[in-house]
Structure 1
Amino acid sequence: MILVVDVGNTNITYGVFKGDKMVSSFRMTTGTTRTSDEYGLELLALMNINNVDKDKIEGVMIASVVPKVMHALVNAIVKYIGKKPYLVGPGIKTGIKISLDNPREVGPDLIVDAVAGYEIYGGPVLVVDFGTATTYIMINEKGEFFTGVVCPGIRISAKALWQDTAKLPEIEIKKPAGILAKETISSMQAGLIYGQIGQTKYIIDKMKEESGLMNTKVIATGGLGRLIADETKEIDVYDPILTLRGLQILYEKNRRTKPQLKEFDNQNAPE
């Protein structure tokens, strides 16, 4: 079995794969002040609750967009799981070509989504990831990751509403009964959800139009992806574990070449 780790700005999501089948998944909040022992003990507890034997873990693959947690997290995995993890970054074998002006600026999460989208669904493919940020990336039929769009995620937009206004309350993010709201909470929910639906439709259509790839498959993933995908005919498939599947694919591509563990500049990270 292998352990894959998706370190996002809000949550750290773990997946355990046996071959190409995910047999377990669990998550914790992304805590930038945790020590390696805190990460390690919480990870062991989650593995135990989910009946995952740490001694059967053969390797670990991590993609992270939060460098500050990596020193402690990597040390935790080495100490408590007994494996030196592979990290998605420069030098890793992906099987796709990043045809952007500054390939090294591309986030590991986008690389993983691009690999998963292309390897699983073929090209051309457009992957929409509804995470802390909402990202749109396109990979053509040749396996070239050639463009991307980044927008504020639904939760970021929601926080801006209630943190930057004096009288708007913190609300649950869900689809209201309809857009014709009659009170504050459903008015906010309508603006957030229907606004995201409209944005999603427009960006997908515009990316297809400007690229000329009108037959592109559109795959959605991310925590709030199902909520939007169910309301958007432009999305062909909702795949909630696309990123974890991408990490598993990358592990298999790289396990024989053993890419170097990327060093992070984390002088202020907890030990």
Structure 2
Amino acid sequence: MLLAIDVGNTNIMFALVEGEAIRWRWRIATDSKRTADEYAVWLNQSMQMEGVERSAIRDVVIASVVPQTLFNLRGLSRRFANVEPLVVGAPGVDYGMPVNLPNPAEVGADRIVNAVAAHLQWPGDLIIIDFGTATTFDVVSAAGGYEGGVIAPGINLSMDALYQAAAKLPRIAVEPPPEGRGVIGKGTVHAMQSGVFWGYVGLIEGLVKRMQAEIGRPTTVIATGGLATLFSRHSDAIQHVDPDLTVKGLVRIHARNRKD
């Protein structure tokens, strides 16, 4: 099986993939100081809980937006699975997708991985929204080129900033106001829920509308990430949700670069 590792700013996803089927998923908080041994102990325990032997891992692919994690994740791959991992973004990795930007190296590995997976699943021009620590909007042309995108603060980041900077405002969950309450807040929590949630819906819809106007052709909008389902229920701007988009992209890129 393939161990696909997706390192985000907040969490790391470890997924065991057989063929193209994702069999198991585990998450751990991102910590650039975590050693290869610590990863190995945690991953071994997680696999044992599912009855999976470490010998089942035949290869490893990694995408990381936190470069400091790569040294120890490479160490994990070598010591735990006895393989040299494929690292997205490393020299020589073939995405099968041109990055049509002045400096392609600036694009985060996760964004390219998402773009590859989305282009293989949906035809035409695409906008991919990834709800993570940052919320990213990426454009893929119908011809299969990565054309650029937008980076906005993630909603949890925005909420934390509001809570920390305003002494009297409480910490709230990411959710719309209770049904029937409307947008205009009748109390502090209600007002914050409206501002944070509906304000973010406005950000999504406004950016998608402007991007579509700039593209000038019909586009399909796909969302991924932890809050994708929640926002898709409250906005017509999103047509599809795929929580496994990044892992699927890692599988595809690994298959393209595999040395049999």
Q: Out of 202, 206, 210, which is 1:198 matched to?
A: 202
Show the counterpart of 1:219: 222
When structure 1 is superposed on structure 2, of 222-231 and 46-55 the one drifting more is: 46-55
Answering whether residue 249 of structure 2 is matched by residue 246 of structure 1, we say: yes
CA distances 1:111-132 after superposition (whole Å, capped 9, x unpaired): 1011011112133111100110
| Aligned residues of 2:59 and 2:81 also touching (Cα < 8 A) | no
Q: For 1:158-183, what per-residue CA distance to the aligned partner results, in whole angstroms no more than 9, with x for missing partners? A: 11101111111222222221423222
Decide whether the 8 Å contact of 2:201 with 2:235 is kept in 1: yes
1:103 corresponds to: 104
Deviations 1:29-71 (A, max 9, x none): 0012212211111111112223332211111100000011221
Distance 2:112 2:51 in 1: 30
Q: Tell me the equivalent position of 1:144.
A: 145
Distance 1:104 1:69 in 2: 18
Number of the residue aligned with 2:59 = 59
Determine helix, strand or coil for the equivalent of 2:135: strand
Q: Distance in 2 between matches of 1:69 and 1:148?
A: 25
How far apart are the structure 1 equivalents of 2:227 and 2:50? Answer: 24
Match of 1:44 in 2: 44
| Residue number in structure 2 paired with 1:186 | 190
CA distance in 2, matches of 1:184, 1:39: 42
Ranges in structure 2 where 5+ consecutive residues have no aligned partner = none
- 1:62-86 CA-to-partner distances (Å, cap 9, x unmatched) read 0000011221222122212222211
Shift of 1:26: 1.2
Listed one character per residue, the Cα deviations across residues 134-159 of structure 1 (whole Å, up to 9, x for unaligned) are: 00011111111112000000111011
Contact 1:10/1:132, CA 8 A, preserved across alignment:
yes
Aligned to 2:233: 230
SS in 2 for 1:71: helix
1:91 corresponding residue in structure 2: 92
After superposing the two structures, state which structure 1 stretch, 70-79 or 225-234, moved more: 70-79
Alpha carbons 2:58, 2:81 under 8 Å: kept: no
User: Which stretch shows the higher mean deviation, 82-91 or 242-251?
Assistant: 82-91
Q: What TM-score, normalized to structure 2?
A: 0.94
Instruction: Name the residue aligned to 1:131.
Output: 132
Per the alignment, residue 209 of structure 1 pairs with 213
The SS at the match of 1:79 is helix
Q: Which amino acid aligns with 2:41?
A: L
**Change in CA separation of 1:186 and 1:47 when aligned onto 2, cut-off 3 Å:** farther
SS in 2 for 1:98: coil
Letter of the 1:173 counterpart: V
Aligned-pair identity (%): 39
| 1: CA distance, partners of 2:22 / 2:124 | 24
SS in 2 for 1:166: coil
Q: Structure 1 unaligned segments of length 5 or more: list them.
A: 258-271
Tell me how far apart the structure 2 counterparts of residues 191 and 76 of structure 1 sit (CA, whole Å). Answer: 43
Give the 3-state SS of the residue equivalent to 2:42 in structure 1. Answer: helix
Structure 2 equivalent of residue 269 of structure 1? none
Could you tell me how far apart the structure 1 residues matched to 2:92 and 2:125 are?
25
1:117–1:126 contact (8 Å) kept in structure 2: no
Question: Could you tell me whether the CA contact under 8 Å between 1:201 and 1:234 is conserved in 2?
Answer: yes
